[in-house]
Amino acid sequence: MPSHPGPERALDAALFQRIARGDALAFRELTTLHLAMIVTYATRILGNAADAEDVAQETFLRVWQKAADYEPRSRARTWLLAIAHNLALDRLRRRKTRREEPVGDDGEDLGPGSEEPNRLLLRKSTALEVRRALDALPERQKMALLLCHEQGLSGAEIAEVLNATPEATESLLARGRRALRTLLAEGNIDQS
Amino acid sequence: MPDERNDDVSLAERAFAALEPVEPSAALERRIAAIPILHPLAPSESFWPLGKSWATRWALVGALGLGAVLGSVPLPEDTAGAVEVGGAEVESTEGSAADLPAGQGELSDEDTELDRALAAALGADLGFEQALFEESL
So where are chain B's domains? 106-137
**Better-scored residue on pLDDT, B93 or A94:** A94
Mean pLDDT on A47-53: 93
**Closest to A164 (Cα-Cα) out of A147, A183, A181, A182:** A147
pLDDT value for A165 = 95
Residue A98 — pLDDT band, cuts 50, 70, 90? confident
Scanning every residue of chain A, which has its alpha carbon at the shortest distance from the alpha carbon of B21? Answer: A40
Nearest CB to A40; choose among B11, B22, B27:
B22
How far away is chain B from the Cα of A149, in angstroms, using its nearest Cα?
A: 6
Average pLDDT value over all residues in chain A: 83
Q: H or E element: which one contains B82? A: strand B82-85
Mean pLDDT of chain B: 73
Condensed to tens digits (0 to 9), the pLDDT of residues A76-97 reads: 999 999 999 999 999 999 988 8
Residues in chain A: 192
Please check whether residue B79 touches A, CB under 8 A. Answer: no
- Give the pLDDT confidence score for residue A22 in this predicted structure: 92
How many Å is the maximal CA-CA distance in chain A? Answer: 56
Helices (H), A47-148: 49-66, 76-99, 116-121, 126-136, 139-145
* Residue B63 to residue B69: CA distance in whole angstroms: 10
Cβ contact A146:A133 at 8 Å: no
Query: Can you give the pLDDT at residue B43?
Result: 65
Contact B11 A180 (CB under 8 A): yes
pLDDT band at A49 (very low <50, low <70, confident <90, very high): very high
Question: Strand B88-91 relative to strand B82-85: parallel, antiparallel, unpaired?
Answer: antiparallel
Name, in order, each residue with C-beta under 8 angstroms of A62's C-beta and a sequence gap of 6 or more. Answer: A83
Q: Residue A42 belongs to what H/E stretch?
A: helix A24-46
Q: Are A136 and A110 in contact (CB under 8 A)?
A: yes
Nearest chain B CA: its distance from A7 CA (Å): 27
Query: pLDDT of B49-81, one tens digit each?
Result: 666 678 888 888 899 998 888 887 777 765 555
The three-state secondary structure class of B103 is: coil
pTM > 0.90: no
pLDDT of residue A111: 43
Domains of chain A: 1-103 (1.10.1740.10), 108-192 (1.10.10.10)
Q: Is A126 on the interface with B (CB under 8 A)?
A: yes
Q: How far apart are CA A16 and CA A30, in angstroms?
A: 9
Tell me the per-residue pLDDT of A60-70, one tens digit each, with 9 for 90 and over.
999 999 999 99
B22, A174: Cβ pair inside 8 Å? no
Q: What is the pLDDT of residue A1?
A: 43
* Model pLDDT for residues A109-143, shown as the tens digit of each residue: 444 445 454 554 445 468 888 888 999 999 999 99
Q: Identify the bridge partners of residue B83 per DSSP, sorted by sequence position.
A: B90
For residue B89, give the H/E element and its range. strand B88-91
A181 against A187, higher pLDDT: A181
Instruction: Note the pLDDT of residue A129.
Output: 86
pLDDT band at residue B118 under the 50/70/90 scheme: confident
Q: Is B25 on the interface with A (CB under 8 A)?
A: yes
**Is residue A166 pLDDT above 80, yes or no?**
yes
Percent of chain A with pLDDT over 90: 62
Whether A137 has its CB under 8 Å from any CB of chain B: the answer is no
**A22 touches B: beta carbon within 8 Å:** yes
Q: Which of B19, B20, B30 to mutate to test the interface with A (most CBs of A within 10 A)?
A: B19
Residues of A in contact with B25 (CB under 8 A): 49, 53
Provide the pLDDT for residue A121. 46
Question: Given this model, what pLDDT does residue A156 score?
Answer: 94
The answer to whether the Cα torsion of A93, A95, A96, A100 is positive or negative is positive
State whether B15 and A68 contact (CB < 8 Å).
no
Q: In this complex, do A64 and B41 lie within 8 Å of one another by their Cβ atoms? A: yes
A53 Cβ neighbours under 8 A, 6+ residues apart: A39, A42, B24, B25, B27, B28, B31
Taking CA atoms, what residue in A is nearest to B9?
A177
Q: Which of A18-22, A140-144, A173-177, B38-42 has the lowest mean pLDDT?
A: B38-42
pLDDT of residue A2: 46
